[in-house]
Amino acid sequence: MSATLPARLRLPSPPPTSAPPPPADALKPVNRLPLLVAGLGSAALAAYVWWQHGAKQGVLLLLGLGLGLALFHSRFGFTSAWRQLVAVGNGTGLRAHALLLGTTATLFALIIGTGTGLFGSTPAPSDGDLGVALLAGAFLFGIGMQLGGACASGTLFAIGSGQSAIVLTLGGFIAGSILYTWQFDLVKDLPAVPGVVMSEHIGWFGSWAVTIAALAAVAALTRVIQKRRNPPPVGTVPTARGPLRIVRGSWPLLAGALVLAALGGAVLLVSGGAWGITSAFALWGAKFLQLIGLQPETWTYWEAPRQAAQLAGPVLADKTSLTDIGIMLGAAVAAAASGAWTLHRDIPARTAAAAVLGGILMGIGARLAGGCNIGAYLAGIASGSLHGWLWGLVALGGTFVGLRARSLFGLANPAPRDSVC
pLDDT in tens, 282-336: 999 999 999 999 999 999 999 999 999 999 999 999 999 999 999 999 999 999 9
**With bands split at pLDDT 50, 70 and 90, how would you rate the model's confidence at 7?**
very low
- Per-residue pLDDT at 9 exceeds 60: no
Q: For the segment 335-392, what is each residue's pLDDT rounded down to a tens digit?
A: 999 999 988 778 899 999 999 999 999 999 999 999 999 999 999 999 999 999 999 9
Cα(284)–Cα(288) distance, integer angstroms: 6
Cα(260)–Cα(277) distance, integer angstroms: 14
The set of residues, in sequence order, having a beta carbon less than 8 Å from that of 306 and lying 6+ positions away, is: none
pLDDT of residue 4: 44
Dmax (CA) for the chain in angstroms is 80
Radius of gyration of the chain from its Cα atoms, rounded to whole angstroms: 21
End-to-end CA distance of the chain: 42
pLDDT of residue 13: 66
- Per-residue pLDDT at 94 exceeds 60: yes
Mean pLDDT over the full length of the chain? 94
312-325: buried (b, 16+ CB within 10 Å) or exposed (e) per residue?
Answer: eeeeebbbbbbbbb
Q: Quick check: 160 and 336 in contact, CB under 8 A?
A: no
What number of residues does the chain have? 421
Q: For the segment 19-41, what is each residue's pLDDT rounded down to a tens digit?
A: 888 888 889 999 999 999 999 99
AA identity, residue 231? P
Q: What are phi and psi of 385, to 5 degrees?
A: -100, 135
**What's the pTM?**
0.95
